[in-house]
Structure 1
Amino acid sequence: MAGLPLTKRQTIDRRRIPKVNLDHLPAEEREKRQSFLERNRLAALKCRQRKKAWLQQLQHKIDNTTRENEQLQEQATSLREEIINLKTLLLAHKDCHVARANGLDGL
């Protein structure tokens, strides 16, 4: 078991700091410490919320860009097919007297 990698849960649990008993501190120090811990808790929560919102926004951008890329790929394929069709039409008319009259027989 010593050589096995830690799971995410084990990593998180190992990093947790046990609660410190604040009873030995004077009331003013205890309140100050509790206030600090509460502000820190709120700041951490806000940070996690911002990160979650940022990740959701990033995922939305990825989805949109992927969709746009697929559409552009389809459009490029369609345009390549159209080029092939137009070249085929030109080749079919290369010996046409109208094409020769317009100077297009050299294509």
Structure 2
Amino acid sequence: MPYAVLVPAVFIAGLGISMSMVAATSAVVEAAPQGRAGLATGLFNAARQVGSALGIAVLGALLAAVDVRAALLAGAAGYLLAIATALPVRQPFPKKV
């Protein structure tokens, strides 16, 4: 698969992930009990780093063992699984008084 196809897709995915991290971090801090925001943020960032490392390792191993299409399909399946997991647990914004 040529780089001309991969680079725009990776760039768009990076933009989306970077924009969602701000909202996710804010949601974690707001959901944490008062006085535990630092702990919640640290745990969130640690989980994000571990998840990123595992994702890169799994997709890299798949890419080395099989081919580019299998790795891309696995990555797309991971994104869809993340969306399917996140949608049922989202909560509406509280009304400001």
TM-score range for the pair, normalised by the shorter chain length: 0.3 to 0.5
The structure that has the greater radius of gyration is 1
TM-score for the superposition, normalised by structure 2: 0.39
TM-score for the superposition, normalised by structure 1: 0.36
Bigger relative CO (Cα 8 Å, ≥ 6 apart): 2
